[in-house]
């Protein structure tokens, strides 16, 4: 009985063998094998730029629209972003007494980034209201306030109501893209791009994210490169800034626990295609993802391991980050007191130990390992200067309070790699350019993979605005090119 059963079972298993061999293929491999080769428009990347381009392409008449995403989830850095979107919108700003203009955008961008493309910034400002209205029509409910985002110089940002605004933009646009007929494929990576063939169609070679298995060549009337930046690629960032070693975390993935696809693929593929790449040394470092509790300037100070201040805390983030990197040791301390308005992260940071509370400065200094007498003198001088309105050491003039009401809140703060501003060169219409400033037919690029808009720093809220405005231009143009090629072939 047992032997018969075993023989039957073995025969059964043998008969199933070819089926099992086929079943060993992963779902991603199966999807890739069955994937159609011809598309109207292909988007590479499913962050805000890619999904915006996809939805716009569908709305502009493209029928076969594909979004490629190499990660296991859609959304890229947009998913983790704070969600501030800069918008020049009289109907939103004027009722609050806020004046704004494209020229002011250019001026502010220049202050933040020095070398900017005024033409790109003007297009960004002028397209921003229509883009935010469009997002609203797709179901995003914006809070009524218009505020000055961290890093901007003027109140012009809006955000979705509630928390996780970036996540809301992605979920909303992902659903819209699918509803309009676009295909959004996760776990498929674009590895190479090809110029137009005799029919005018361009190509994208795709494979599995880990490089295993065979590759497939897809063709389209238009391709939008929207692969984000390269903050997660340590080797690439070290090429442009030797201080940005692997131990410096990113704001997108501060504890190394999240998916992060910002590895510069679009820049690498674009360069191989013959696109111009520039501004790669412009990497934004942000000193705000550790023990800092305040979302405004004037209620906290930074001190180094010697217990001394080293910077005007109201300086542009770029200068603060640079000053931090010059201090001995990997991190500094940020201190506030019980009088300041803490952000929503207070509870979490106290619970996970990022921020601690002490009843006296002496006790705080001892726990930090800094000389107590020096820290007490630092705070005494700072408070005298806050009352006078002028900091004797660094010229700070923005004070909202003195820092003297116990308990004191303090935590380690360090520099995080936030965003890359270098990448593919594009026209103000998002068309991909070669080093001679000629358009590379059939290709557009939008979002953090592009360069030339902001220089070495960008005002808060303008990155997401750029994904929307230039993503829309790219999606529309790619759909139009696909339609023109289709009609030629009929
Ligand atoms: C913590 C944090 C907060 C921020 N807050 C704000 C803010 O409030 N306002 C603001 O304006 N900006 C903010 N930014 C910056 C902003 O979020 C990003 O610049 C923006 O989201 C980039 O969007 P993107 O579409 O260009 O790229 P991403 O959103 O990063 O998407 C790119 C996608 O492409 C995929 N991809 C990459 N290579 C390939 C490939 N070869 N094949 C297929 N897929 C690929 C990636 O996996 C990723 O999913 C913030 C950034 C961070 C990290």
Half-sphere exposure of 399 (CA within 13 A, CB side): 16
The rounded distance, in Å, linking the Cα atoms of 43 and 247 is 32
The CA-atom distances, in angstroms, between 18 and each of 13, 30, 32, 212, 213 are 10, 16, 20, 21, 19
> Mean pLDDT in runs of 10 for the chain (490 residues)?
46 46 70 94 98 98 98 96 95 96 95 88 97 98 88 89 90 98 97 97 96 94 98 97 91 89 98 97 89 87 97 86 89 96 86 96 97 98 98 94 98 94 97 98 98 87 97 98 93
- How far apart (Å, rounded) are the C-alpha atoms in residues 265 and 207? 13
Which residue from 76, 143, 286 has its CB within 8 A of the most atoms of ligand 1, so it is best to mutate? 76
Dist CA 91 CA 89 (whole Å): 5
Ligand 1 atom, smallest distance to 464 CA = 11
Q: Whose CA is nearest to atom 10 of ligand 1?
A: 461
Residue 463 and residue 447: Cα distance in Å, rounded?
Answer: 7
Using alpha carbons, select from 466, 457, 430, 474 the residue that is nearest to residue 86.
466
Looking at the CA of residue 463, tell me the nearest atom of ligand 1.
Answer: 11
Look at residue 378 in the predicted model and tell me its pLDDT.
98
Ligand 1 centroid distance, CA of 233 (Å): 14
Q: What is the atom index within ligand 1 of the atom nearest the CA of 76?
A: 49
Nearest protein CA to atom 26 of ligand 1, as residue: 447
3-state secondary structure of 406: coil
Three-state SS at 135: helix
What's residue 18's pLDDT? 45
**Burial track 199-221 (b if 16+ CB lie within 10 A, e otherwise):** eebbbbebbbbeeeeeebebbbb
* Distance from residue 231's CA to the centre of ligand 1 (Å): 10
Q: How far is the CA of 203 from the centre of ligand 1 (A)?
A: 24
For residue 114, the CA-to-ligand 1 centroid distance in Å is 23
Mutation to probe ligand 1, out of 43, 46, 47 (largest number of atoms < 8 A from CB): 47
Report the C-alpha gap between 457 and 279 in whole angstroms.
11
pLDDT score of 452 = 80
Q: DSSP 3-state helix, strand, coil percentages of the chain (rounded to 5)?
A: 40, 20, 45
Model pTM above 0.95: no
What is the CA(421)–ligand 1 centre distance, in A?
12
Query: In this predicted structure, what is the pLDDT of residue 20?
Result: 44
78 CA → ligand 1 middle, Å:
4
Could you tell me the distance, in angstroms and rounded to a whole number, from the CA of residue 227 to the centre of ligand 1? 8
C-alpha 272/C-alpha 193 separation (Å) is 8
Ligand 1 binding residues, C-beta < 6 A: 44-50, 68-71, 75-78, 80-84, 189-190, 226-228, 251-252, 261-262, 265, 418-419, 447-449, 460-464, 467
- Closest ligand 1 atom to the C-alpha of 68? 43
Distance 208 CA to ligand 1 centre (A): 21
How remote is the CA of residue 268 from the centroid of ligand 1, in Å? 17
pLDDT given for residue 9 in this prediction:
53
Residue nearest to atom 35 of ligand 1 (CA): 45
pLDDT of 8: 54
Pocket test for ligand 1, best of 193, 261, 295, 454 (most atoms within 8 A of CB): 261
Domains of the chain by start residue, with CATH:
76-179+226-284+417-489 (3.50.50.60), 288-414 (3.90.700.10)
Hey, whose CA ends up nearest to atom 53 of ligand 1? 252
């Amino acid at each position: 009985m047992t032997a018969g059963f075993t023989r039957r079972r073995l025969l059964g298993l043998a008969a199933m063998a070819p089926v099992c061999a086929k079943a060993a293929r992963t779902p991603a491999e199966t999807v890739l094998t069955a994937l159609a080769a011809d598309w109207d428009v292909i988007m590479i990347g499913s962050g805000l730029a890619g999904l915006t381009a996809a939805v716009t392409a569908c709305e502009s008449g493209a029928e076969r629209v594909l979004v490629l995403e190499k990660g296991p989830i859609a959304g890229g850095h947009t998913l983790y972003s704070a969600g501030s979107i800069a918008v020049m919108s009289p109907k939103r700003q004027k009722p609050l007494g806020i004046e704004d203009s494209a020229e002011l955008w250019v001026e502010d961008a220049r202050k933040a980034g020095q070398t900017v493309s005024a033409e790109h910034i003007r297009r960004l400002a002028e397209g921003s209201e229509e883009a935010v209205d469009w997002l609203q029509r797709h179901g995003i409910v914006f809070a009524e306030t218009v505020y000055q985002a961290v890093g901007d110089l003027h109140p012009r940002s809006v955000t979705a109501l509630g928390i996780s605004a970036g996540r809301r933009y992605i979920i909303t646009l992902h659903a819209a893209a699918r509803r309009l007929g676009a295909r959004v494929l996760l776990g498929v990576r674009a590895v190479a791009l090809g110029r137009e063939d005799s029919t005018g169609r361009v190509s994208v070679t795709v494979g599995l994210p880990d490089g295993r298995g065979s590759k497939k060549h897809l063709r389209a009337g238009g391709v939008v490169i929207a692969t984000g930046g390269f903050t997660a690629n340590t080797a690439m960032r070290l090429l442009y800034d030797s201080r940005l070693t692997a131990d410096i975390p990113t704001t997108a993935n501060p504890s190394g626990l999240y998916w992060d696809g910002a590895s510069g693929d679009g820049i690498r593929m674009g360069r191989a295609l013959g696109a111009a790449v520039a501004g790669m040394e412009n990497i934004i470092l942000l000193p705000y993802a550790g023990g800092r509790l305040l979302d405004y300037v004037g209620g906290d100070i930074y001190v180094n391991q010697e217990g001394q201040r080293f910077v005007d805390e109201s300086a542009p983030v770029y200068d603060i980050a640079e000053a931090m990197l010059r201090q001995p040791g990997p991190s500094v301390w940020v201190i506030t007191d019980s009088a300041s308005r803490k952000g929503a992260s207070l509870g979490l940071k106290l619970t996970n130990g990022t921020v601690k509370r002490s009843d006296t400065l002496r006790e705080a200094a001892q726990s930090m390992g800094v000389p107590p007498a020096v820290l007490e003198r630092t705070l005494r001088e700072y408070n005298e200067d806050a009352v006078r309105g002028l900091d004797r050491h660094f010229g700070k003039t923005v004070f909202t309070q003195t820092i003297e009401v116990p308990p004191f809140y303090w935590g380690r703060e360090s520099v995080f790699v936030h965003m890359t501003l270098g990448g593919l060169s594009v026209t103000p219409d998002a068309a991909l350019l070669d080093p001679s400033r000629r358009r590379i037919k059939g290709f557009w690029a939008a979002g953090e993979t592009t360069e030339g808009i902001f220089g070495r720093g960008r005002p808060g809220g303008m990155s997401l605005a750029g994904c929307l405005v230039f993503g829309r231009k790219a999606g529309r143009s790619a759909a139009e090119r696909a339609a023109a090629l289709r009609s030629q072939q009929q």
